[in-house]
Structure 1
């Protein structure tokens, strides 16, 4: 497995685990309240921060393995671009949804959560695209 594929796996796994932890904590805080009444801000900030730290730590650990090559070539750059283009769609969807929700004066809980969900979906979709292309090859269109 090449360096960039390992990075894609790390980011993919961290995004899924981080969001799953967030959902579990939020649902655990319901205690008879509706979702918008649940205190979510601190959990959201800590979850995003922990995911960033976990990704950095995992990538540093991966880089510290003796003999591991960090060389990239044109194929790696092409796969990286493809994955980023595929994942960007959810960033746009999240921004558009948040804008419409704010204009409709939805509760901040829903706006923050749709943005977070779309960031996670972007990371998952982009990471999955990269992993699939590394495994099956670059599509020829």
Structure 2
């Protein structure tokens, strides 16, 4: 497994943990009451920071393990990696645009800050996750 693919997997694994954790914490904080009463921004901020830090730590640990197995190929990247990364970004951007459109619609209807922020947050999260899935598929099946 090449460097870029390992990092993609690390991001997907961490995201599959932190996004559901965010949802659970927000729902528990609401305690059956309205979600708009939740003090959402510290939870969201900690989720983002934890996701970044955990992705870095998983990537480093996985890189160390891979380096012990194949010291020559640990950080190598080639044109195929760049093409796959570019394709993954294009796929993910479509979902980011949908998240941005959702934010515009919510603003037009003067929705609560909670809904606006979460629409953008999940737009970024889904964009990153779907782009990562597209990259992994491209690594496994090749670019068509």
Fold match by TM threshold 0.5: yes
**1:46 aligns to 2:46 (yes or no):** yes
- 2:92 corresponds in structure 1 to 87
- Find the aligned partners of 1:125 and 1:28 in 2 and give their Cα distance: 27
**Corresponding residue SS for 2:54:** helix
- CA contact under 8 A between 1:16 and 1:120: conserved in structure 2? no
Give, in whole Å, the separation in 2 of the partners of 1:78 and 1:54.
26
Q: Which residue of the partner structure matches residue 30 of structure 1?
A: 30
Gapped regions of structure 1 (runs ≥ 5): none
Q: Give CA-to-partner distance per residue, 1:85-128, whole Å, 9 cap, x none.
A: 10011111111211221121000000111111111111110000
Q: How does 1:1-141 map to 2 (within 5 A)?
A: 1-64=1-64, 65-66=67-68, 67=71, 69-139=74-144
Instruction: Say what the alpha-carbon RMSD is for the aligned residues.
Output: 1.3
TM-score by length of 2: 0.90
**TM-score for both structures, normalised by structure 1:** 0.92
Which runs of at least 4 in structure 1 moved beyond 4 Å after TM superposition?
none
3-state SS of paired residue (2:30): coil
CA distance in 1, matches of 2:135, 2:19: 20
Once residues 31 and 84 of structure 1 are traced to their aligned partners in structure 2, the CA distance between those partners, rounded to angstroms, is 37
Judge which range, 120-129 or 33-42, deviates more. Answer: 33-42
Higher fraction of helix = 2
Number of residue pairs matched by the alignment: 139
Secondary structure in 2 matching 1:36:
helix
Distance 2:89 2:117 in 1: 22
What secondary structure, in the 3-state scheme, does the structure 1 residue paired with 2:31 have?
coil
DSSP 3-state at the match of 1:72: coil
